[in-house]
């Protein structure tokens, strides 16, 4: 036994060394398909957030993989967060569905749709769509609840993890239409970008200390309920046609619809720079692709993606060019 023990140990050591990766071998890290950040690509939940000033601070927006900002009645905006890698304990305040949501979500597959309710005229349209209805209309107060620290109608919150148990038909995240890669060489450095709707404004300001764009909402620092300022390394200003729809709110306001099927232009904000890009989407179920004006891919950078859907051209403040000596 005294002679066999060293041999056994030597064999074990040799086996262990053989299983270790060499310096030239790369360890594969799972990355979320939407953001290209380390993380899983799980079931896709789309959540409607109120975005009026009275609804701030919002809970859980910073954990979304993708955030859409769309115009609603009276020229105001609402958010839709798309989650596939992280599902916070509480999200909100939650508001009702709009017709633009169905067009936006068509390219993401069979998505779990979380919202407070919808006008009766829209309910059959939602039922006929490729979305899984996980709204407050179909779930108990243990899942959708009112936060007593907020006033109505800005008080409804949701516990998304409890809905994952009911999301059997919801699909996993799939490859999006955009690609990740190096930025365009002609992208210009900016200090800020201002994005407007008739009665709402966002400003994205580059932060040298945080190395990302930080957001202001209606002239105020956009702070989440967690205390952090919302922002990201990757933002997309998508110029779309916004037209009146056949739907409206209970106050008689006409619901606008953002036309996201077709083609147009926009601006990619990444790493303090902006470049003009072209978007194209052939049909409801097809993904939106992005290209530069020469036809080559317009690459996204890793990070949470904010899509600003507006018909107004943004206002950029460019960093002054340094004269070459």
The average pLDDT across 50-69 equals: 98
Provide the residue ranges of all domains of the chain, joining segments of one domain with +: 188-231+261-318
On average, the pLDDT of the chain sits at 92
Q: What's the rounded Cα separation, in Å, for the pair 219 and 185?
A: 32
- Top pLDDT among 54 and 18 is at 54
What is the SS3 assignment for the chain? CCCHHHHHHHHHHHHHHHHCCCCCCCCCCCECCCCCCECCCCECEEEEEECCHHHCCCECHHHCCEEEEEECHHHCEEEEEEECCCCCCCEECECCCCHHHHHHHHHHCCCEEECCCCCCCCHHHHHHCCCEECCHHHCCCCCEEECCCCCCCCCEEECHHHHHCCCCCCCECCCCCCCECCCCCCCEEEEEEEEEECCEEEEEEEECCCCEEEEEECCEECECCCCCECEECEEEEEECEEEEEEEECCCCCEEEEEECCEEEEEEEEECCEEEEEEEEECCCCCCCEEECCCCCECCECCCCEEEEEECCCCEEEECCCCCCC
pLDDT at 16 over 80: no
Q: What is the pLDDT of residue 1?
A: 39
- State pTM to two decimals: 0.91
* 242/62 Cα distance (integer angstroms): 27
Confidence of residue 323 (pLDDT cuts 50, 70, 90): low
pLDDT digits 0-9 by tens, 140-187 = 999 999 999 999 999 999 999 999 988 999 999 999 999 999 988 888
pLDDT tens by residue, 246-273: 999 888 889 999 999 999 999 999 999 9
- CB-count burial class (<10 Å; 0-12, 13-18, 19+) for 319: middle
Is the pLDDT score of 3 beyond 70? no
pLDDT at 209 over 70: yes
């Amino acid at each position: 036994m005294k002679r066999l023990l060293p041999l056994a140990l030597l064999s074990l050591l040799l086996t262990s060394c053989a299983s270790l990766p060499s310096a030239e071998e790369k360890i594969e890290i799972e990355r979320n398909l939407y953001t290209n950040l380390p993380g899983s690509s799980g079931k896709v939940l789309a959540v409607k957030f109120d975005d009026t000033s009275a609804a701030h601070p919002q809970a859980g927006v910073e954990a979304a993989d993708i955030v859409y900002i769309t115009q609603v009645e009276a020229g105001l905006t609402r958010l839709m967060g798309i989650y596939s890698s992280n599902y916070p304990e509480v999200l909100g305040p939650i508001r009702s569905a709009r017709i633009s949501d169905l067009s936006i979500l068509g390219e993401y597959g069979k998505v779990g749709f979380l919202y407070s309710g919808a006008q009766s005229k829209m309910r059959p349209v939602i039922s006929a769509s490729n979305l899984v209805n996980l709204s407050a209309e179909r779930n108990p107060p243990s899942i959708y609840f009112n936060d007593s620290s907020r006033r109505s109608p800005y008080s409804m919150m949701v516990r998304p993890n409890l809905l994952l148990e009911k999301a059997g038909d919801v699909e996993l995240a799939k490859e999006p239409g955009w690609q990740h890669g190096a930025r365009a060489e002609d992208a210009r450095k900016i200090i800020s970008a201002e994005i407007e709707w008739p009665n709402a404004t966002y400003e994205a300001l580059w932060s040298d200390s945080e190395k990302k764009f930080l957001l202001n909402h209606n002239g105020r620092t956009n702070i989440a309920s967690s205390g952090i300022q919302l922002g990201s390394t990757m933002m997309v200003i998508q110029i779309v046609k916004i037209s009146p729809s056949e739907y409206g709110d209970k106050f008689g306001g006409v619901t606008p619809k953002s036309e996201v099927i077709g083609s147009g232009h926009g601006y990619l904000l990444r790493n303090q720079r902006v470049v003009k890009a072209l978007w194209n989407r052939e049909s409801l179920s097809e993904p939106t692709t992005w290209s530069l004006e020469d036809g080559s891919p317009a690459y996204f950078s890793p990070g949470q993606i904010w899509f600003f859907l507006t018909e107004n051209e943004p206002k950029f403040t460019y960093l002054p060019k340094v004269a070459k000596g």
